[in-house]
Structure 1
C-alpha cells in the first residue's frame, strides 16, 4: 500500500512542480521578447531604421497640409511630436502678387496691380 501512495505523489513531489505559477514567469519572458521583436519589425517595415540610431537626427512630417498634420522630431535620444493643427494658417484672403526665383537665386515679387517691383534676397 505504501508503494502505491508514493507512485501517485512521486511525480509531483517537488514544491516547484506543484506551484502552477512557475510557468507564468516563462510566458511573461516570451511575451516581452515577442513584443520587442514586433516593435523592431514595425520600425523596419516603415523604412525608418534611423529612428533606432541615437547618433542620427530625424524630422518626419505626417499628413502634410492636412488637418491632422504632425511633425516628429528626433534629436539624439529625445523624440518630440508636434501637433500642427493649431499652427496651420488658413482662412480666406486675396492674392497679392507672384514671386519668381531667378537663376542667380534672387526672388522677385510682382504685385497684382503691376505698379511696383521688389527684390527679396
Structure 2
C-alpha cells in the first residue's frame, strides 16, 4: 500500500499535475497543435476533458492555423498572425 501511494505521488509530481489536487480552477492543454490535442479544465470539483477529432467544427470542415496567441506574465494575451 505504501509503495502504491509513493508511486502515485511520484507520477503526479513527474508530470506536473499537482493542480488537479489544488482548490484552484485551471485549464491545461496536452499536445497543443497536434491531432491528439486534449484540453482539460477544472472548475470547482468538476474536471472536463475535450479531445480533438476530425469533426470538431461540427460540419466536417477542416480549419487551418492562422496565428499564435501568447499570454504574458501580467495576464495580457498577444495574438501574432502568421
1:70 matched to which residue of 2? 38
* 1:59 has 2:32 as partner: no
- What is the root-mean-square deviation of aligned Cα atoms in Å? 2.2
The separation in 2 between residues aligned to 1:79 and 1:39, in whole angstroms, is 19
Q: Counterparts of 1:95-114 in structure 2 under 5 Å?
A: none
1:80 matched to which residue of 2? 48
The runs of 5 or more residues in structure 1 that have no matched partner are 1-31, 93-121
| Partner SS for 2:33 | coil
Higher helix share: 1
Q: Higher relative contact order at CA 8 Å, sep ≥6: structure 1 or structure 2?
A: 2
Normalised by the length of structure 2, the TM-score is: 0.58
Q: Which has the larger radius of gyration?
A: 1
2:6 aligned to which of 24, 30, 37? 37
The separation in 2 between residues aligned to 1:39 and 1:57, in whole angstroms, is 22
Normalised by the length of structure 1, the TM-score is: 0.42
The separation in 2 between residues aligned to 1:50 and 1:74, in whole angstroms, is 9
1:90 matched to which residue of 2? 62
1:26-67: CA deviation from partner (whole Å, max 9, x where unpaired): xxxxxx3322221111111122322111x1111111111111
The runs of 5 or more residues in structure 2 that have no matched partner are 65-82
The separation in 2 between residues aligned to 1:87 and 1:65, in whole angstroms, is 13
